[in-house]
Amino acid sequence: QVIKIDGSSTVYPITEAVAEDFQKAKKNAIKVTVGISGTGGGFKKFCRDETDISNASRPITSKEMADCKAAGVDYVEMPIAYDALTVVINPKNTFLKQATVEELKKLWEPAAQGVVMKWNQVNPAWPDAPVKLFGAGADSGTFEYFTEAIVGKAKSSRGDYTASEDDNVLVQGVSRDVNAIGYFGYAYYAENMSRLKGLPIVNPKTGKAVEPSGANVENGTYVPLSRPIFIYVKAKSLQKPEVKEFIEFYMKNADKLIREVKYVPLPKVAYEGNLKHAKDGKIGTVFGGHNEVGITVEEILKREAKM
Amino acid sequence: MNQSQHVSSQFDEDLGRLRTHVLQMGGLVETQISAAIDAYTTGEVASVKTIVETDRKVNELEKAIDDDCAHIIAQRQPAASDLRLVLGISKIVTDLERAGDEAKKIAKGVRRIYEAGHLPSQYGVGIRHLAEATLTMVRQALDAFARLDGTQAVSVIRADADVDVEFKSIIRQLITHMMEDPRTITTSIEIISISRAIERIGDHAKNISEQVIFVAEGRDIRHNKEAIK
Amino acid sequence: MNQSQHVSSQFDEDLGRLRTHVLQMGGLVETQISAAIDAYTTGEVASVKTIVETDRKVNELEKAIDDDCAHIIAQRQPAASDLRLVLGISKIVTDLERAGDEAKKIAKGVRRIYEAGHLPSQYGVGIRHLAEATLTMVRQALDAFARLDGTQAVSVIRADADVDVEFKSIIRQLITHMMEDPRTITTSIEIISISRAIERIGDHAKNISEQVIFVAEGRDIRHNKEAIK
Amino acid sequence: MQTHDSPQLKAEARDFNFFYGQAQALKKINMPIYDKKVTALIGPSGCGKSTYLRSFNRMHDLYPGNRYEGEIRFYPDNTNLLSPEVDPIEVRMRVGMVFQKPNPFPKTIYENVAYGLRVRGENNKRVLDEKVENALRGAAIWEEVKDRLQDLAPNLSGGQQQRLCIARALATDPELLLFDEPTSALDPIATGAIEELVHELKKRVTILIVTHNMQQAARVSDYTAYMYLGEMVEFGKTDEIFIKPKDKRTEDYITGRMG
Amino acid sequence: MQTHDSPQLKAEARDFNFFYGQAQALKKINMPIYDKKVTALIGPSGCGKSTYLRSFNRMHDLYPGNRYEGEIRFYPDNTNLLSPEVDPIEVRMRVGMVFQKPNPFPKTIYENVAYGLRVRGENNKRVLDEKVENALRGAAIWEEVKDRLQDLAPNLSGGQQQRLCIARALATDPELLLFDEPTSALDPIATGAIEELVHELKKRVTILIVTHNMQQAARVSDYTAYMYLGEMVEFGKTDEIFIKPKDKRTEDYITGRMG
Amino acid sequence: MNHTMSAKSASDLHQVSDRLAHNALRNVNERLIELVLFAAAAVSVLTTVGIVYVLVSESIHFFQNVSIVDFLTDNQWTPLFDDAHYGIMVLISGTLVSSGVALAVAIPMGTIIAIYLSEFANPKVREVAKPVLELLGGIPTIVFGYFALLIVTPLLQKIFPELPGFSLLSAGLVMGIMIVPYIASLSEDAMRAVPMSMREGSYAMGATKLYTAIHVVVPAAVSGLAASYILGISRAVGETMILAVAAGMQPNLTWNPMEPAATITSYIVQVALGDLPHGSIGYQTIFAAGLTLLLITLVFNIIGQWLRRRYREAY
Amino acid sequence: MQPMTTEQIRALIARGKLKDTLFQAIGILCLGIGLLVIFLLVGDMLMRGMERLNIEFFTEFASRRASQSGILSAWVGTLLVMLVTAAAAVPLGVAAGIYLEEYAKRNWVTDIIEINITNLAAVPSIVYGLLALGIFVYTFGFGQSILSAGLTLALLILPIVIVATREAIRSIPAMIREGSMAVGATRWQTCRYHIIPYAMPGILTGVIIGLARAIGETAPIITIGALTFIAFLPPAPFAPTGMDGATAGMFDWVMSPFTVMPIQIFNWTSRPDPAFEVNAAAAGFVLMGMVLSMNAVAIWLRYRMRKNIKW
Ligand SMILES: Nc1ncnc2c1ncn2[C@@H]1O[C@H](COP(=O)(O)OP(=O)(O)OP(=O)(O)O)[C@@H](O)[C@H]1O
Ligand SMILES: Nc1ncnc2c1ncn2[C@@H]1O[C@H](COP(=O)(O)OP(=O)(O)OP(=O)(O)O)[C@@H](O)[C@H]1O
Ligand SMILES: [Mg+2]
Ligand SMILES: [Mg+2]
Ligand SMILES: O=P([O-])([O-])[O-]
């Protein structure tokens, strides 16, 4: 009785916490393993019918859907939390109080490569100081989401920035350079608030600058940089009692554990919905095989319900 | 001489055999000489044939020993006392062989005298004495060689001087005799030859002894009267 | 003999010097002999002193050459023809030295005869002839050695037989003479000694030649009459 | 000096050529090896002595590109050692070899000697013990090592090592023993001991020995072959070769003259 | 055979002791080295010949734990080679050495010989050319290598390598040349050439040579020292030592008898 | 084996046939063992074949979409971006610069340490220092990565204030230190294998230690040094994590070590562990890049092999 | 050129010695830097990880709470993977080395194999991961198991073992080989009795370097699917499994899922919570300890073997 889970590193801390508590609760009678091979790697294994659950920091793509279909793998999509991408700056930075999507776009769009090298090129009010950019690696879900949300097109970004898969590296980079700006998952910001400053982003709809915080994500004002994260559960595995039990445990404890690992939980209904889908065997995705930006909690719940 | 063993027991054996052969040869020459003297004093000329035959053996031994010496040098590169031994032996055998030749000459002379019906007994005492003195020299020289005893060798060399003196007195005696009785001339001449042969044997014994000293002590005392004082 | 060079030119030099010394010694002995003969025929006894002095040189050379031979063996481990050369030389010098001794004896005998006032001219022809034959033998033997010429050495050995015959006839002649005129006995005995010395020189030349054959051809033909046929 | 009874043939090279790749190292060698005799090979460096010696136990088969021509007949069974049908391993079992530098294996003295037997599949302790002892006795080293058979062989002195290697070769009862300059790495005393041993051994086995040291050849061998530029120039009784060689080239070499 | 004019001292060991750590390898050696003469050191393996020889150019300083006692006086300036005040490098510049196995550097022939000069700071091409040529001539190898000075030295034959090493030592005009068994790795012909060379060299330099080969000592040296168990047993003119040694132990060694 | 084969008796014939049978058995055994050993040797070849197969088969798909000319000449590397460029030179430059920096540290430092340990240090120091130094090779490279990022970079920034937080320089330096034990240890082995007689020859000429080391020991050990350098180069070129952590992962066609840049390996590891769907063109780039790396190392190795053969066993 | 005066020579020597001293200083400096880095790294890990270095750290599984997190599954996994790696790489590498040195003929095929092997040493480890994923995990169906991981790392270090083996074999004098063949041994007997035992110390060096490299590898193991969270151990041989009273087979553990130390460290260092960095440091220190003790064992073995081998 081994439940095999693999996939996103973003989702990993949540699933790990669940797995740990679940095993303890079951006195180790049921074994759970969790791997990190990235969302893509996770889906690859998932669609080869090797894992029971796949962690994903983005919705499944059409290509992956096709793969799963070919292997006869059906799955239940379960959004489990929100990850807020946080734009961070050095705490010693005095001139940046907030930023608009446009400003960020100016800074990050491909056209800026090799051109926008000074802060005052973005906004004349800002000083004539070099810009030091830090961001997620081009292969990550974070990158894809950030580009789509800011530049407007997925994977469309300037290339001359320091990229890392390891967000701690970015934390280090930003915390040591006054002129730095970077982005990564909220959890890293939450754990390193002493060394970093979260940059409030102007909500394009309200025009108000919103700080990155759990509450602001939950209340839906921190847009467009909030994104949902998922687990995908294999339908066949849901037949197995231990997987079923695990999912039930997951949804029941999600709220507490997600907060513990510094992510933003979804409202209770979302978890109940997930359980219902599992019971009803609602398979498939509510996304069209591609990512969507700025999608809110309500919106997802709405779509899920529609399924 | 060194008492310790060579690393190569084969070498020890070779040297041992060489020395044995020399002593064997010396023994033969000794018999030749004493047989010749006996023949002279007793007139038993039958032994002359044996002496001549022995001489052939002596000759063969000389060649064999020389051959052995060459082989030992080629094979063993003897040095120091070993080298002196081999070189000394190579000289000693020449002298031994020649001493043997002289014995043969004596024997033949004796036979001629007796066959001519002349009894040489009248000169017997002097010559016997001379002969015995040289025979002793030869014996002692061989003994000195066997024991590589330089001291004894020196005494042999000293003895040679006495023999020479005795020889000269015999010659003088014979000359007187011949002049007194010219009929004895032929016999006397033979006897002179015999005496000279005996004297020469003494010389050979002396030469052998000189070599023994060289072998034993590394001193070459030939032609050096001081050295044996 | 080998014409090619040794790897060690030092060895070549050593051997060369050795041979030169032998030839030098041979030359001295040759002078001794011919001087002795001259003294005999001319009666110039003054040269006797020179002969005796030369003998001392010869003795020294003998010892030096023997010493050299020992050193060459110890240092160079000669083999094959080189070894035969060294061993041969070590024998040859003994014979040369003894030939020198005989020459000295001749010289001394001559002096005694002349000092006693006896003129030996009457036996001159035979002895001169004998002496010249042996002198030729010595010369040829040395020549054969110088060129390591086995063939010439053989002819020297053959010549020895003639010398022996001649010697015997001289002895017979002298005996007749003595019997005819007993006053000449003393002189005749001296002359017999001289002849015998000459004959012995011939023997030494023969011995040398035998060694030359050994050196040149590796055959030991001593005591082997067949070998020189 | 040594007496020569009429000897029997143990082996015989017949029109034997050897090639290292294209280079011909041995040219038409014809040579007898007499039974229970010591035959020495002498000649200047590079003349092919080792090459010839190593042909007798097919050592050249270990390296690619080597080629034999002609025959080496082995008696009494009259097989051709070089024939491709003859298994080189079988040849090596009948022909032992001792090398220039003592080459004991870094194992115990006992295991060194037992090795040849083990290779033949012998594992009976009693048989091994006995044969090891006999071999060590045969190599005149038993007394020196009998109390330390479990010591490592490389801790022995050079001379002892070389005798051990001889024991190793003897343990398997070879009919012919090859020695390739067995004493060139040893001091005079150890050399003397090995030469003694060779002298003892020839009562039992036939020996073929390569040496640079002419005096050694003169000392230990009954027959000597002089080789020059891959050819066998002269073969004959040792006594004669060292006092009176027939060939000028042999003479030159023996007397230390330049070629 | 050789003539002995009254020789001058070039060096002299006085109550010289040497220790490898605790082990005393040389005991109270007293020995003269005569100028422009060849002195040979003979003795059984392990008696300390090499140890003694290598003291003359302070080779032992290269390894830790070695200790000298006593003096080695060097003339005409009468310095003590072993004194701690004397720099070993300076000693080595005055005392050349040739080793048992030829050890040419993996460089060209030219660079091998020029090495010692370069060490001395000489870089003038003309001077180097000249000295290299002279040294190669002195070592009797110039004719053989003059057209291939830029070839790698390790490609030479063993005998040539050894002569090259001699040339290398000669190039810097040493006052004393040490040879440690210089021919034991060579065949008889190469050995002959080296011995010749030693004979030539003594016209110019003083030579101290270790050899296992007694005949070699007899051949090349004017004086011979016999060493045994770390002591100098006998020292004397070579002529005398080889025909008539004084000490029984020397005699035993020279005649090949057991200790 | 019985050696008294005198009479041609029946038992002798029996022995002969036994012997032949024994020979035959032995030969079969030997061939079998050779086959097994060959199979083992073949594993390494099969591994290469496997690697080449994996790399080529995916690269083929890649090159169906991207022209080789672009691949080699484009000066941008943004395969995962919307506006994709596939100029491998960008990664090659990062790889070469970082390796260059690493080797500029490791080769002199490793060689100097090797010379010091083999020629100068006393044996006790050597016996202790060497295994400890070898520990450097066992430290997980991720640890080195953080070492570069957190300790070396700030240090360097004190010297070069304009140095960015991520740079090839600091990653390369640390990589160099990581490679030092490979070079030092193997070179030291090679130098110690130089016979003492060679050294004595030099000292006997009056040379100093350094002169001896440089003019005699090093030339004599050159084949071993070359081997260690080749291994060092291979290690530098193939090193991944240090660069991934400390070099900035910024695809940047630069020859300036003071800039951040991505290397082939860091790119591969990043993508391989990332979110990309397998089979996408972005994913295939890692195979094309891997193939390029393989070719680069092949060239290095062939040169190295040639050098080694040229100088093999000069003494 | 005038012969140099004593003063000139002394000046020359003084200059030479000065250079010696300078170089020695540089040498000590370089060595010092190397050693300093080690002490720095290890010391730093020790200092930072000190608080976590207690028994529980070794006996607890990983947890989301840094202070309760342990490395049990990681160190067991590392040990087992290394076991498989050594068990696969040593025989394979030695056999290949023997084939190349003792059997293969010198021709272009051998040359290619040779270049191929050195080239393999330079292939980035992640590429091995990609290869192994295709071959071991899928084609051979070993899944994401200790076996797959062990074999992958075995392939990775195979070139090192082969090269070390060959060097070791080459240093065995030809005379030993000839000595063995001369008494009638076959090639294989020669290898079995001599070549392999005498090459063993050298082979061990290769194994040390190889395993030290393998033990720190992260990327290829992740590629083939090492896990990060795993709160149970592989079944011990013949341990009872679950309810039906059956026991595990002797080698069941090789097919078990696993994690290894570097992955644990990697995971902890990339966590948002800085508390995990302490764990990472402690685990890093433990890993160093493992490498060190592995090296120590091998060095000791090598020393013992070398003592008995000389020629
Ligand atoms: N493996 C080989 N490949 C090619 N040629 C070789 C080989 N071994 C030897 N030779 C050549 O064959 C010839 C004979 O060599 P061999 O070793 O038999 O000489 P040797 O008489 O034993 O010399 P040495 O006395 O120096 O041992 C030499 O010219 C040598 O260069
Ligand atoms: N490095 C060393 N450490 C300790 N002892 C040594 C050392 N070198 C030599 N010895 C010992 O010192 C003694 C003399 O050795 P040395 O090498 O001088 O002898 P040798 O006469 O040259 O012998 P060989 O003829 O074998 O070369 C020997 O007992 C030897 O074991
Ligand atoms: Mg040979
Ligand atoms: Mg010595
Ligand atoms: O590992 P990620 O897919 O969350 O980037």
Task: Tell me the per-residue pLDDT of F234-250, one tens digit each, with 9 for 90 and over.
Answer: 888 888 788 888 887 77
Please name the residue that has the structure tokens 């390898």: E25
> Which CATH code of 1.10.3720.10, 3.20.20.80, 1.10.10.350, 3.30.70.250 fits the domain covering F71-314?
1.10.3720.10
From CA D194, how far away is CA D159, in angstroms rounded?
8
| pLDDT per residue as tens digits for the range C37-85 | 888 888 888 888 999 999 999 999 999 999 999 999 988 888 888 999 9
Q: What average pLDDT does this structure show over F173-192?
A: 87
Please name the residue that has the structure tokens 């040490």: E178
| pLDDT per residue as tens digits for the range B142-190 | 999 999 999 999 999 999 999 999 999 888 888 888 888 888 888 888 8
Overall domain count for chain B:
1
Residue of C139, C148, C159 lying closest to C99 (CA atoms):
C139
Answer whether residue E66 shows pLDDT above 70: yes
ipTM for the complex shown: 0.79
From CA B61, how far away is CA G91, in angstroms rounded?
73
CA distances from D243 to A32, B13, C80, C82 (A): 95, 20, 4, 9
Q: Cα–chain-centroid distance for residue B6? A: 31
Chain D CB contacts of E191 below 8 Å: none
What does the buried/exposed string (b/e) look like for D161-197 if buried means 16 or more CB atoms within 10 Å of the residue's CB?
bbbbbbbbbbbbbbbbbbbbbbbbbbbbbbbbbbbbb
Query: Is the model more confident about C114 or about D210?
Result: D210
Of E16, E18, E20, E233, which is best to mutate to test ligand 2, by the most ligand atoms within 8 angstroms of its C-beta?
E20
From the list D96, D120, D154, the residue facing G311 with the nearest CB is: D154
Share of chain G above pLDDT 70, in %: 95
| pLDDT per residue as tens digits for the range C97-145 | 999 999 999 999 988 888 887 665 566 678 888 999 999 999 999 999 9
**Partner-chain contact E90 G3, CB within 8 Å:** no
From CA G178, how far away is CA G196, in angstroms rounded?
15
Model confidence at C8, pLDDT cuts 50, 70, 90, reads: confident
Outline where C116-149 has alpha helix (H): 124-147
Q: What average pLDDT does this structure show over D60-68?
A: 88
Model confidence at G1, pLDDT cuts 50, 70, 90, reads: very low
Query: What does E39-74 look like in DSSP terms, one character per residue?
Result: EEEE-STTSSHHHHHHHTTTGGGGSTTEEEEEEEEE
> Nearest residue CA, atom 19 of ligand 1?
D46
> Nearest residue CA, atom 22 of ligand 2?
E50
The pLDDT value given to residue D2: 44
Which residue range forms the structural domain that includes residue C113?
3-228
The pLDDT value given to residue F5: 39
Answer whether residue C2 shows pLDDT above 60: no
| pLDDT per residue as tens digits for the range G203-235 | 887 888 788 888 888 878 887 777 778 888 888
Is residue D22 in contact with ligand 1, taking CB distance under 6 Å? no
Share of chain F above pLDDT 70, in %: 90
Which distant-in-sequence residues (6+ apart) come within 8 Å of F104 by Cβ? F172, F176
Residue of E45, E44, E54 lying closest to E18 (CA atoms):
E54
**Partner-chain contact G10 E87, CB within 8 Å:** yes
Judge whether A37 and G225 are in contact, CB under 8 Å.
Answer: yes
Model confidence at F14, pLDDT cuts 50, 70, 90, reads: low
| pLDDT per residue as tens digits for the range B20-56 | 999 999 999 999 999 998 888 888 888 889 999 999 9
From CA D179, how far away is CA C72, in angstroms rounded?
31
Q: What average pLDDT does this structure show over G29-54?
A: 88
Domain extent listing, chain G: 75-228
| pLDDT per residue as tens digits for the range F23-32 | 777 788 888 9
The pLDDT value given to residue G292: 81
| pLDDT per residue as tens digits for the range G131-187 | 888 888 878 888 888 999 999 999 988 988 888 888 788 878 888 889 998 888 888
From CA B131, how far away is CA B137, in angstroms rounded?
10
| pLDDT per residue as tens digits for the range C198-218 | 999 999 999 999 999 999 998
What is the bridge-based pairing of β-strands E9-20 and D223-228?
Answer: unpaired
3-state secondary structure of E149: coil
Which of B 2-31 lie inside 8 A of D, CB atoms? 6-10, 14
**Partner-chain contact E196 C6, CB within 8 Å:** no
Lowest mean pLDDT of E208-222, F38-52, F124-138, name the range: F124-138
Model confidence at F4, pLDDT cuts 50, 70, 90, reads: very low
Model confidence at D58, pLDDT cuts 50, 70, 90, reads: very high
The pLDDT value given to residue B1: 44
From CA D122, how far away is CA F2, in angstroms rounded?
14
Name the range with the highest mean pLDDT among A282-286, B64-68, B182-186, F306-310.
Answer: B64-68
Q: What average pLDDT does this structure show over E61-67?
A: 88
The pLDDT value given to residue C155: 93
Complete edge-to-edge strand list for the sheet that includes strand E231-237: E95-98, E176-180, E206-210, E38-42, E223-228, E231-237
Ligand 2 centroid to Cα of residue E48, in Å, is 6
The pLDDT value given to residue A261: 86
Which distant-in-sequence residues (6+ apart) come within 8 Å of F223 by Cβ? F190, F308, F311, F312, F313, F314
**Partner-chain contact F26 D172, CB within 8 Å:** no
From the list A153, A163, A173, the residue facing F165 with the nearest CB is: A173
From the list G4, G6, G10, the residue facing E120 with the nearest CB is: G4
Model confidence at F17, pLDDT cuts 50, 70, 90, reads: low
Q: What average pLDDT does this structure show over F275-300?
A: 82
**Partner-chain contact E89 G16, CB within 8 Å:** yes
| DSSP single-letter state for residue E83 | -
Answer whether residue B208 shows pLDDT above 90: yes
- In one-letter notation, the amino acid at residue B69 is C
> Which CATH code of 1.10.357.10, 1.10.3720.10, 3.40.50.150, 3.40.640.10 fits the domain covering G75-228?
1.10.3720.10
Model confidence at D3, pLDDT cuts 50, 70, 90, reads: very low
Instruction: Say which CATH number the domain at B25 has.
Output: 1.20.58.220
Model confidence at F2, pLDDT cuts 50, 70, 90, reads: very low
> Nearest residue CA, atom 12 of ligand 1?
D25
The pLDDT value given to residue D7: 83
Is residue D47 in contact with ligand 1, taking CB distance under 6 Å? yes
The pLDDT value given to residue G248: 66
Which distant-in-sequence residues (6+ apart) come within 8 Å of F40 by Cβ? G91, G92, G93, G95, G96, G99
The pLDDT value given to residue E3: 46
Tell me the shortest Cα–Cα distance from C154 to chain D, in angstroms: 19
Residue-averaged pLDDT of chain A: 87
The pLDDT value given to residue D159: 84
Model confidence at E235, pLDDT cuts 50, 70, 90, reads: very high
| DSSP single-letter state for residue B83 | H
Query: In order of start, what are the domains of chain D with their CATH numbers?
Result: 9-254 (3.40.50.300)
What does the buried/exposed string (b/e) look like for C119-141 if buried means 16 or more CB atoms within 10 Å of the residue's CB?
ebeebeebbeebbebbbebbbbb
Ligand 4 centroid to Cα of residue E53, in Å, is 9
The pLDDT value given to residue C55: 93
Residue-averaged pLDDT of chain F: 83
Which distant-in-sequence residues (6+ apart) come within 8 Å of A126 by Cβ? A95, A96, A119, A120
From CA A100, how far away is CA G262, in angstroms rounded?
41
The pLDDT value given to residue G311: 66
* DSSP-assigned beta bridge partners for residue D12: D32, D73
* DSSP-assigned beta bridge partners for residue A86: A184
**Partner-chain contact D255 C80, CB within 8 Å:** yes
| pLDDT per residue as tens digits for the range D132-187 | 999 999 888 898 899 999 998 988 888 889 889 999 999 988 999 999 989 887 88
Which distant-in-sequence residues (6+ apart) come within 8 Å of E111 by Cβ? E105
Residue of B135, F289, B131, C211 lying closest to G126 (CA atoms):
F289
Q: What average pLDDT does this structure show over G105-113?
A: 79
